Chain A
Amino acid sequence: METALTYRKYMDMVLFSGNQPVKRETESGWNLMLAEGADRESRLRRIMERYGNGLFRYAYSFVGNGEDSEDIVQDTLIQYLRFAPVFENDAHEKAWLFRVAGNISRNRIGYNKRHRTEELEDNVRSHYEVNELSFVWDVVKSLDPKYREVIHLYYYEGHTTREMAEILMDRESTVRSRLLRARKQLKKLLKEEYDFE
């Protein structure tokens, strides 16, 4: 049976065909926020309270300066508002936020390589520096970003390799071997100062 084009179907078609972000956002995003009655600022404050410093430090482990790390936290929160994801539990929420922050950080590394001078980076970083331990950071910073992120997630965030695999959207075996290689490089570089056990 053919049915006439109803107004709702017609508007569905317009939304689906036009220059609009489609159903995912309108249904699970804006409407969900309306239904929950939660305003955006209070949602962000909760995220900031729980994960703000964690995201900041994770971003720092990639870009090595406070200014960019703040921008990365901000961009992560913008994505959080835009996609309004619904999480099964706290672990899922944290994994999503760190995955987004990691992706933005990797993009920022590429951008900085193309546009930014080393001098500016050092000036900004010194504001956040903890001097007596900075040599450890200098060594970690010298690693490839793919090793830095597993070091940070494992040693600082205390994630298991399985959890890291979820955040990095990679196989657990890949994460394990990356962690092993990162440890080997650190052991070689830090010598007697090595304490990543």
Chain B
Amino acid sequence: MSNKYTRYMDGLSLSKEAEERIIKNAVKADDRYRKKRSSGFNRTLGFIIVAASFVLIVAGAFILRFPGKKISEGGQSSNVMIGNPMVEYDSLEKMEKAVDFNIRKLTKLPFSVENERYAVYSGTMSEVTYEGKNGSLTMRASKKTDEDISGVYEEFTDIRKMEIAGMEVTLKGSEDGFVLASWDHDGLSECIYSEKAYSIQEWEVIIGGVS
């Protein structure tokens, strides 16, 4: 089909110089993004190393202060216990006991689930990860809080609030869809993170299947 509009558009094109410039600029921009991402990771790693060193120094000083003496009174333990931020469980029931609230599950997923993993962070936040060949979804829950429990601090270009399954849900993502959904329900803060981006319609199904 060739009408006047298509002939007009045919007259517009990128010069070879423009193409080269665009490619070079895109690669440079990507380099800057990767560098920024990498330095962010190094900062996080540096913080962990400093924090771990501090814990070891404190523990070492404590042991030196009481050489040969059991730390806990009453004969219960003779080891220095350092709190474990994440504990894995082999069943949902055991995890529920640990966090002391009912954990809701995903019943409608856009892929076949081959494995489920259960974990509790700091004894207060549950995490269920559903893994399959074609995707992975992670649902976190904690007693209602104003803090962001997702742990996903990516910069999102598309953020929408909408009602899904009777809840006010915040969807976060970008041009290719949404990867994070969060909401409050029945005294709990809940969120789902996906490795793949899904459309609003797909999120409606996923969130509608939380029970």
Contacts and interface: CB of A to CB of B under 8 A. Distances in A.
A120 interface: no
Interface in A153-181: 155-156, 158, 169
A124 interface: no
Interface residues of B, number: 54
Given A77-B22, A100-B176, 7 more contacts: A10-B86, A13-B86, A22-B154, A41-B23, A44-B23, A48-B19, A53-B14
A156 B136 contact: no
Interface of A: 1-5, 9-10, 13-14, 16-24, 27-28, 30, 40-41, 44-45, 48, 52-53, 56-57, 60-61, 66, 69-70, 73-74, 77-83, 85, 96, 99-100, 103-104, 128-130, 133-134, 136-137, 140, 151-152, 155-156, 158, 169, 193, 195-197
Contact of B23 (A19, A20, A61, A77): A77
Nearest to A39: B27
B11 to A, nearest CB: 3
Given A3-B88, A40-B30, A195-B3, A20 B175 contact: no
B14 A2 contact: no
Contacts of B87: 2, 5
Nearest to B7: A133
A77 to B, nearest CB: 4
A100 B175 contact: yes
